[in-house]
A = this chain, B = another copy of it.
Amino acid sequence: MAGEGATSIWMQPEGHERSGPGRRPGFSRRQITRTAVRIADAEGVEAATMRRIASELGTGAMSLYRYIPRRDDLFDLMIDLAMSGIELPDGPSGDWRGDLTLLARQVRAAGLRHPWLIALLTSRPTLGPNLLRVHEFALGAFKGTELHIDDVTGFVGMLNDYVHSAIRREIGWLEEARRTGLDPERWKRDYMGPYVRQVVESGAFPLFNRSVLDSRTAHLAPEERFRHGLDRILDAIAALTPSLSPR
């Protein structure tokens, strides 16, 4: 074997269609990944253990290692599968703002559908084909402008940073509640609530207090809040580059 294990999973494609001797494979990377994603969606990544996935497939844990070198590689595959759900036009439309808005909404939808996605994505530097596809579309939104590629990368980075962080904020407490086993409502009321109240009542952080008490956006629906922040990022991009249409 050449370069076994010491390379990215994307360099070790599925054992391509052989026609030689030997037992036929009973599973596939895709099938295993799909199962892992399904479990993770329903019960969190920590529930998607090798044994659990195998059991769901009606087999033993060690069978999976015929298809996936290490558990970490499975994460890369899961990320890529989740990103594959992001549907985008083939190319940029010419309306950079519209394209990026579409992109952001799609990423948000994927992030909510797979609450583990953003956490995995930001915890490991991965470059699966679908992430590259999405990234390429983002970069393409600025096609036609006279921007230097570094500026484009910077803007796309700003947008990504916002989208990811916003999704994390939106999921954050929900996920934490699920992880600790409490139902979300009780978690907010009994776990974090009393502490925040104590902090507020102590008066030690007056501006934090105002950001909690006087906030208007806090009472907005999640999508609205997301759109507000997104618009701010897009406005910022427009404001930084006079050559772009302001809006």
Contacts and interface: CB of A to CB of B under 8 A. Distances in A.
Interface in A187-218: 190-192, 194-196, 198-199, 204-208, 210-211, 214-217
Nearest to A141: B207
Given A149-B210, A207-B136, A172 B125 contact: yes
Copies of this protein chain in the complex = 2
Interface residues of A, number: 67
A235 interface: yes
B139 A207 contact: yes
Nearest to A238: B239
B7 A127 contact: no
A180 B165 CA distance: 26
Given A158-B232, A229-B157, A7 B190 contact: yes
Interface string A175-191: 01000101000000011
Interface in A118-174: 119, 122-125, 127, 132-133, 135-136, 139-140, 143, 148-150, 152-154, 157-158, 160-162, 164-165, 168, 172-173
Q: Which 9 residue pairs are nearest across A and B when measured between Cβ atoms?
A: A239-B239, A236-B236, A139-B207, A8-B195, A161-B165, A161-B161, A125-B172, A136-B205, A149-B210
